[in-house]
C-alpha cells in the first residue's frame, strides 16, 4: 500500500465521507421488494422437492386450510423444542423439519401401513 494517511485524515486515497452514504429512501433501488403478505406466505410452510414428488405420486392435494393446520402444528412442535416432527392429519402423514418449516416427505394411508417412522423427535396429531 502506497497510500499515506496523515494525522487528521480518516480516509486514504480518493474515498470521502459523502461517497459512503446510503441512498435516500426516495431514490429507486435496483432490488425489487416483495410485499409483506408474500413474504409471510413464503415463510408459512415449504415443500421439499422430495415431498412435492411424493404428493404428486400419491395423489395428495393440500388445500390452504390444511396447509394452515400443518403450520399451526409446526408452531406447537417448535414451542416444545421439536426438530423433526411427524404430523398426522386425517389419512395423511408428514415428516416436517420444524426449524426450516419444510415438509420433508408425505404419505397417504396406504403408504403408512406397516411403516416405521424414524429420525423424528415428536409427533403432532391434527384431528
* pLDDT for position 115: 85
Output 32 or 96, whichever has higher pLDDT.
96
What pLDDT shows up at residue 92? 93
Helices marked H in 27-122: 36-44, 49-57, 64-79, 109-112
Coil, helix or strand at residue 105? strand
- Dihedral-angle region of residue 119 (phi above 0 means left; psi in -120 to 50 means alpha; beta otherwise): left
**Residue (of 51, 43, 67) closest to 106 by Cα position:** 51
pLDDT at 68: 87
Arithmetic mean of pLDDT, 67-79: 91
3-state secondary structure at position 6: coil
What's the chain's average pLDDT?
Answer: 80
Instruction: List Cβ neighbours of 5 (8 Å cut-off, separation of 6 or more).
Output: 12
Q: At residue 124, does pLDDT exceed 90?
A: yes
Res. 97: pLDDT tops 90: yes
User: Quick check: 54 pLDDT over 70?
Assistant: yes
**What region, left, alpha or beta, does residue 101 occupy, with left being phi > 0 and alpha being psi -120 to 50 degrees?**
left
pLDDT tens-digit series, residues 5-25: 556 555 555 555 555 555 565
Q: Which residues contact 105 (CB under 8 A, 6 or more apart)?
A: 48, 50, 51, 54, 94, 95
Residue with cell 416436517: 96
CA quadruple 47, 56, 87, 126: dihedral sign: positive
pLDDT(108) > 60: yes
The pLDDT value recorded for residue 45 is: 84
Amino acid at each position: 500500500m502506497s497510500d499515506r494517511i496523515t494525522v487528521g485524515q480518516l480516509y486514504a486515497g480518493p474515498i470521502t465521507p459523502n461517497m459512503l452514504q446510503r441512498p435516500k429512501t426516495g431514490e429507486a433501488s435496483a432490488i425489487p421488494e416483495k410485499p409483506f403478505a408474500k413474504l409471510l406466505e413464503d415463510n408459512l410452510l415449504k415443500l421439499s422437492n422430495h415431498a412435492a414428488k411424493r404428493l404428486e405420486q400419491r395423489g395428495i392435494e393440500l388445500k390452504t386450510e390444511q396447509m394452515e393446520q400443518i403450520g399451526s402444528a409446526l408452531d406447537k412442535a417448535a414451542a416444545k423444542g421439536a426438530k423433526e416432527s411427524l404430523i398426522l392429519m386425517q389419512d395423511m402423514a408428514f415428516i416436517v423439519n420444524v426449524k426450516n418449516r419444510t415438509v420433508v416427505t408425505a404419505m397417504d394411508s396406504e403408504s403408512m401401513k406397516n411403516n416405521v417412522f424414524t429420525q423424528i423427535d415428536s409427533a403432532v396429531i391434527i384431528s
